[in-house]
Structure 1
Amino acid sequence: MAFSSSSARFAGPFVSALGLIFSLSLASCGTRTDGENANTKATAETATPAAPVVVDSAKLQAMVMQRDSLKADSIAKKSGQLPGAILPGHRIIAFYGNIRSKGMGILGREPKEQMFRKFEGVLKEWQAADPSIPVQAALHNVTITAQGTPGKDGKWRLMNSKATIQEVLSWAKEHNCILFLDVQPGHSTLQAELPKLTEYLKDPIVHLGIDPEFSLSTMPGVRPNQKIGTLDAKDINFTVNFLARIVSENNLPPKVLTVHRFTRKMITNYKNIKLDPRVQIVMHMDGHGEPTLKKDSYHDYIVKEPVQYTGFKLFYEYDARPKPHHIMTPKEVIALTPSPLYVQYQ
């Protein structure tokens, strides 16, 4: 578990997981019969047919994931990073929200051009505060959102339309940003929701966020915002494997995965989270309040339970209440140990 500041890079091709599954499937289909003679053919016709070979697709996929992970690990050990890795060579600065909602964050609260002018100023502040590390701009759009009503399937969540996702992706590309698609699963699960985002995650600039606060599948009958939800290490590992497969199959640079957290129970069994060079995990301090409270939360829930990289959220509407509290400055956030490499404004 490291908070590394190295920014080494290297090159190396990935092996297609899909191709490996195909070859493994062929190899398990029995012996060849192209050399059979008449006698063997007659015998085969009168013999009891052999039972069909049962292919355990889940086992095959696990074998593929293990092979690809070992390959990625061996490359990373030699050269330090997979090609195109954003962390730790950059600090990601993100505007968070939903472009269809004024109430979810700065992304969507203000008119587009006004918001981007503000964002440009924020990026300059961060680059000036720490010239030693390049700033990477990001938009963080809540794409699957927990809802106040259960919906037809009782899952208490709703996904943005394809048009909305394409629009925020076009905003990101216009302004040289990367894009995070954030998931609040409600009473659904990551296993059910993440595949809906596969086509978008094939884009090299698209990354992923997951929000345990709104993961309530283990809390029947609980409405989002009534209680704080939870995810286990097995859910994080599923997400890592899901992203890693997309990276390998599409020859992409590593994906960044942000995991929101501001209580201990939001993430259980953190020591069981498995790292993979194809996915860079950011444990993100998501709480609001005055600076001392935020620093304590960062220490208690992020620093004391390290995974890989760290993040820190700043709230335009809540951190400065009541006076004389203030939104922490870039220099104050940079001074934290370890210094966050992902910073989000809501």
Structure 2
Amino acid sequence: MKVLYYPALFLIITSCHPFDNQEWMNPAGVGKLEMDEIKDTVINSLDTVLYNNLLLHLVGNKPSGKWPVKTTYPLPGAIFPFKRVVAYYGNFYSSRMGVLGELPPEQMLQQLCNEVKKWQVADTTLPVIPALHYIAVTAQSTPGTSKKYRLQMPASEIEKVLQLSQKIDALVFLDIQVGLGSLQEEIPALEKYLRLPNVHLGIDPEYAMKNRQVPCTTIGTFDAADINYATSYLADLVQQYHLPPKILIVHRFTQAMVTNYRNILIRPEVQIVINMDGFGSQAKKIDTYKSWIAGQPVQFTGFKLFYKNDKANGEHLMEPAEVLQLYPSPVYIQYQ
């Protein structure tokens, strides 16, 4: 089979547009048979040259001893570094947990699409796609019937986020705050959703209370072993159900939130993003990013922006161009 490659095809799943996400944009002059070959090639192979070039793009073509991280190539269908993801975070039961639950759904989706457009203008090299990052297991200040200080969202709420994602061809992230529970209990409970190609996972060490304290009274922690369990579980799903690689988001804003980071395993089936989850002044956010995200490299980086908290004390919400000055520039952007 003749192998054809068109860089424009990495724009095919650009979202926030009213077309079916099964359609393929056809570069001018490419016939149907050739398009079928191109589609098959993109799905079943990984352009390692482009992959390496985009990793260099993320570090401003100035590689260092830490970045880009030297790892094995992902399986075909990997999202990073071919695209940047811009996500809205929250829970539908609470307007205080993030913008996802603060605005009426249609208004929220439109605002997310507007943010996607801003990021696309700021960096035209990477196509930008939207995501809904939904807290599917929320930490609680009371033990509840489980005595684990966490609340699992009902299926109806998860189905709601899945339905909303279809309106703008968005990815979905299901986030877990384990409380006094464990990832070994919570991840399998979400397997029916994680089998879907567009559904990915987030885990939050802040609410992993290994010290058995009540969530929010102290900051929790995950070890490399916890993260390795999550990626192993996701990798098994990818292999068993022939899925494209999954993304795992790990939130972090202190050193102790992730221990033994050098022992985190990188697997071709899973792409790991360590997401800078702190709020405050621009200087404080940048310092946190440099220290615990860029300073302790795992694979890819993320950066969270807080619509309200970041603007306290006369500060401003960082613009895409400002965030992109970070080294390396994050591939995952989250708004809360």
TM-score range with shorter-chain normalisation?
Answer: 0.7 to 0.9
Structure 2 residue 296 is the aligned partner of structure 1 residue 279:
no
> 1:101, 1:196 → 2: CA distance?
22
Retained in 1: the 8 A contact 2:74–2:271? no
Structure 2 residue 211 is the aligned partner of structure 1 residue 219:
yes
Which amino acid letter does the alignment assign opposite residue 291 of structure 2?
Answer: D
TM-score calculated relative to the size of structure 2 = 0.79
Retained in 1: the 8 A contact 2:85–2:128? yes
Retained in 1: the 8 A contact 2:133–2:175? yes
Residue 10 (structure 1) shift = 6.3
Partner of 2:287: 296
> 1:330, 1:231 → 2: CA distance?
29
> 1:183, 1:279 → 2: CA distance?
17
State the identity %: 47
Structure 2 residue 232 is the aligned partner of structure 1 residue 244:
no
> 1:151, 1:9 → 2: CA distance?
48
Which amino acid letter does the alignment assign opposite residue 154 of structure 1?
Answer: K
Partner of 2:333: 343
> 2:93, 2:161 → 1: CA distance?
10
Which amino acid letter does the alignment assign opposite residue 340 of structure 1?
Answer: P
Partner of 1:45: none
Pick the structure with greater CA Rg. Answer: 1
Partner of 1:34: none
Q: Give per-residue Cα distances to partners, 1:158-201, cap 9 Å, x unaligned.
A: 11100110110110112110000000000000011110000000
CA spacing shift, 1:192–1:89, aligned 2, 3 Å: same
Q: Give per-residue Cα distances to partners, 1:71-120, cap 9 Å, x unaligned.
A: xxxxx96xx44221100000110000012221100001011111112112
Q: Give per-residue Cα distances to partners, 1:113-161, cap 9 Å, x unaligned.
A: 1111211211111101111110011000000000111012210001110
SS in 2 for 1:138: strand
Partner of 2:180: 187
Which amino acid letter does the alignment assign opposite residue 143 of structure 2?
Answer: P
Retained in 1: the 8 A contact 2:74–2:267? no
> 2:249, 2:223 → 1: CA distance?
15
Partner of 2:44: 11
Partner of 1:231: 222
Residue 9 (structure 1) shift = 5.7
> 2:204, 2:141 → 1: CA distance?
16
Which amino acid letter does the alignment assign opposite residue 87 of structure 2?
Answer: A
- Equivalences for residues 91-106 of structure 1 within 5 A: 91-106=84-99
Unaligned regions of 5+ residues in structure 1, if any?
Answer: 1-6, 13-75
> 1:97, 1:179 → 2: CA distance?
12
SS in 2 for 1:172: helix
Q: Give per-residue Cα distances to partners, 1:279-301, cap 9 Å, x unaligned.
A: 00000000000100000000000
> 2:81, 2:223 → 1: CA distance?
25
Partner of 2:320: 330
SS in 2 for 1:311: strand
Which amino acid letter does the alignment assign opposite residue 303 of structure 1?
Answer: A
> 2:192, 2:112 → 1: CA distance?
28
TM-score calculated relative to the size of structure 1 = 0.77
Which amino acid letter does the alignment assign opposite residue 211 of structure 1?
Answer: D
Which amino acid letter does the alignment assign opposite residue 236 of structure 1?
Answer: I
Q: Give per-residue Cα distances to partners, 1:240-294, cap 9 Å, x unaligned.
A: 0000001100000000000000000000000000000100000000000010000
Which amino acid letter does the alignment assign opposite residue 92 of structure 1?
Answer: V
Q: Give per-residue Cα distances to partners, 1:19-77, cap 9 Å, x unaligned.
A: xxxxxxxxxxxxxxxxxxxxxxxxxxxxxxxxxxxxxxxxxxxxxxxxxxxxxxxxx96
Q: Give per-residue Cα distances to partners, 1:280-329, cap 9 Å, x unaligned.
A: 00000000001000000000001110000000000001001111x11100
* Number of residue pairs the alignment of both structures matches: 272
Unaligned regions of 5+ residues in structure 2, if any?
Answer: 1-9, 11-40, 46-70
The CA RMSD over aligned residues, in Å, is 1.5
